[in-house]
DNA sequence: GCCATATATGTGGTATTACCATTTAACCAA
DNA sequence: TTGGTTAAATGGTAATACCACATATATGGC
């Protein structure tokens, strides 16, 4: 258990170390847009890591548009100034450690939008999916079990009904982190789980009746506890 | 984002095929939460792919909380009902193909929030970073060069100044896609690039003077063309 | 027959190695 | 200089081997 956590953490760290070394290399050698980086094999030897590690790091930088790998040719710097490049790498190195409050703040923002869009665009199929998630949540809560997963699945169903694939994808990507932290910090107590049933139903009804403004309001009510966690004085 | 490692389209497709096969396996064998999947080696042989491919697919499903790999033991289904599981896998399979309009819609939503937060929370360092990006953009436009990158870097600087790491990360993750599609569809013409200079300056001034409402309004003005693209109406 | 211990096997995690297709550089002859 | 041939280098991919540990199996003493 502990070993696993440490090892995964180490791996993330290894990749970040390599990214930092690539950054230093770029700065030290004064590489400019279009210039070619040393080959993956050379970097692996120079950094004392495997070529796979180097490739993973390069892929990450490539995804964010900083590098461009051309098969049978090499890896090149994209057309970005050195200042912006360093700034983006700094951001990328900080990607792994988002704070929970910013996560909640973002979730609220996204969901107030998705619930509005869902009210406007939901199909009958969407409606059924939301209803199923709602029922599953209610069952779990009433039987006294933990229902964090079912809670989030209800919200994911709404995101899907929004008809906006990107928001759906973003919700999907932040949900695991939310679940983890909810379990860790116990943001919601049992009482709120019970109240949640009614609040979920209100949101569902608003979506069903295609009342976007009301749906948003009901979602705000549902997020009351999160608002407090996010902006409130204590903690 | 955990947001993940992205590879070529071809490989993405292979990964999705494997994920679909795993889904079919779960359904066909009626696996329930807690049940163990066949080992990676067996799956690789059964599917006729390499173990690395299987591992990548499993990692993706693990990230979204559907599976749980335990070292030296096996890979198990997490505590999710089969209906929800199928729904989430469907979403995951659709992750790679977000439509551009939904991307723009999401960007607008995120940025109207980040620009407001940036007005409230920006530090002097943030301000300088935004100003640098603004100047770089102006230089590029005035010299007649393409300035899509510099445009986005200005907006990324604002996201950073918002002090919300999650939104910053989300903006980072959707920016490459935006750049690609802007170049492909030529959403902005040269004229708008010139107008953009003034609009950027307005946004910057509002952030500098810590006027969140005005900053948001100026950003809306800046997004006028995007609104049109997204909704085909004046707004 | 039973239980404790030893051994073997299986597992996910990681690194090493090899091979491929293609590009790029080097070389050489005319 | 030119043109063509050959060899090396490179990113991409797969196959293989090894590790540490968990679990199943076998062993052996009682």
* Residue pLDDT, tens place only, A145-176: 888 889 999 999 999 999 999 999 999 999 99
Distance from CA of A134 to the nearest CA of B (A): 12
Q: How many CB pairs under 8 A join A and B?
A: 132
Using DSSP, state whether A215 is helix, strand or coil.
Answer: helix
Owner of token pair 């492909």: B184
- Other C-beta atoms lying within 10 Å of the C-beta of residue A181: 17
A19 touches chain B (CB under 8 A): no
- What number is the average pLDDT over the span A94-122? 94
Distance of CA B158 to the CA centre of its chain: 16
The better pLDDT of the pair B69, A1 is held by B69
Contact B214, B222 (CB under 8 A): no
Q: Is B84 left (phi over 0), alpha (psi -120 to 50) or beta?
A: alpha
Q: Say yes or no: Cβ of B7 under 7 A from any atom of strand D.
A: yes
For residue B216, which residues of chain A lie inside 8 Å, CB to CB?
Answer: none
pLDDT bucket at A5, cuts 50 / 70 / 90: very low
pLDDT at A45: 95
Nucleotides of C under 7 A from a protein CB: 10-17, 21-24
pLDDT digits (tens, 9 = 90+) for A188-222: 667 788 899 999 999 999 999 999 999 999 999 99
Interface of B with A in 110-139 (CB under 8 A): 110, 113, 129, 132-133, 136
3-state secondary structure of B67: strand
In terms of pTM, does the model score above 0.85?
yes
Q: How far is the CA of B49 from the C1' of C17 (A)?
A: 19
Q: Tell me, yes or no, if B102 comes closer than 8 A to chain A by beta carbon.
A: yes
Strand locations in chain A (E):
67-70, 74-77
Chain segment B103-155, per-residue pLDDT in tens: 999 999 999 999 999 999 999 999 999 999 999 999 999 998 888 889 999 99
- How many Å lie between the alpha carbon of A167 and the closest alpha carbon of chain B? 6
* Nearest C-alpha in A relative to B156: A88
Best CA proximity match to B81, nearest among A156, A143, A136: A136
Interacting residues of B188 by C-beta distance below 8 A, sequence separation 6+: B148, B151, B182, B196, B225
* Distance between the alpha carbon (CA) of B176 and the C1' atom of C12, Å: 33
Of residues B91, B109, B157, nearest to A113 (C-beta): B109
Where helices occur in B146-208 by DSSP H, the ranges are: 148-161, 165-185, 190-208
| CA A111 to C1' D2, whole Å | 68
Contacts of A87 in chain B (CB under 8 A): 129, 153, 157, 160
Arithmetic mean of pLDDT, A62-68: 96
| Torsions phi, psi for A147 (to 5 deg) | -130, 25
pLDDT tens figures, B179-196: 888 877 766 667 788 899
Query: pLDDT by residue (tens digit) across A82-98?
Result: 999 999 999 999 988 87
Give me B11's structure tokens.
């490989």
Residue A33: strand, helix, or coil: coil
DSSP conformational letter for A36: B
How large is the average pLDDT for residues A59-86? 94
Cβ atoms of B78 and B33 closer than 8 Å: yes
Distance CA A23, CA A21 (A): 5
**Contact between A80 and B160 using a beta-carbon 8 Å cutoff:** no
A176 with B84: Cβ contact below 8 A? no
Residue B214 to chain A, least CA–CA distance (Å): 19
Phi–psi pair at B107, nearest 5 degrees: -60, -45
Mean pLDDT within B215-221: 97
Let me know if B185 is exposed, middle or buried by CB neighbors in 10 A (0-12, 13-18, 19+).
exposed
In this predicted model, what pLDDT tens digit does every residue of B17-34 receive, in sequence order?
A: 999 999 999 999 999 999
CA distance B148 to B141: 9
Is residue A9 over pLDDT 70?
no
- In this predicted structure, what is the pLDDT of residue B235? 44
Q: Measuring from the CA of residue B73 to each C1', which nucleotide is nearest?
A: C11
A64:B97 CB<8 A: no
Question: Which residues in chain B are contacts of A109 at CB distance < 8 A?
Answer: 109-110, 113, 167
**Nucleotide C8 C1' to residue B56 CA (A):** 30
- Pairing status of strand A74-77 against strand B67-70: unpaired
Distance set, CA B79 to CA A136, B34, B65 (Å): 13, 7, 9
């Amino acid at each position: 258990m502990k070993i696993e956590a440490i090892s995964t953490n180490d791996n993330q760290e290894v990749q970040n170390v390599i990214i930092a070394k690539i950054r230093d290399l770029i700065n030290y050698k004064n590489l400019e847009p279009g210039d070619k980086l040393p080959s993956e094999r050379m970097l692996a030897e120079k950094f004392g890591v495997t070529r796979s590690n180097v490739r993973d790091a390069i892929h990450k930088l490539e995804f964010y548009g900083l590098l461009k790998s051309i098969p049978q040719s090499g890896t090149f710097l994209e057309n970005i100034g050195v200042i912006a490049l360093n700034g983006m790498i700094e951001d990328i190195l900080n990607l792994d450690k988002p704070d929970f409050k910013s996560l909640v703040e973002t979730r609220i923002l996204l969901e107030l939008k998705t619930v509005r869009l869902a009210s406007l665009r939901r199909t009958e199929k969407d409606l059924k999916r939301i209803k199923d998630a709602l029922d599953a949540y209610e069952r779990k809560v009433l039987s006294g079990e933990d229902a964090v997963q079912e809670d989030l699945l209800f919200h994911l169903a709404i995101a899907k009904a929004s008809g906006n694939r990107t928001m759906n994808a973003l919700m999907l990507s932040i949900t695991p982190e939310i679940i983890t932290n909810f379990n860790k910090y116990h943001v919601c107590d049992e009482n709120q789980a019970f109240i949640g049933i009614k609040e979920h139903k209100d949101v569902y009804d608003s979506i069903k009746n295609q009342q976007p403004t009301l749906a948003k309001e009901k979602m705000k009510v549902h997020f009351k506890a999160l608002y407090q966690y996010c902006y409130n004085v204590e903690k």
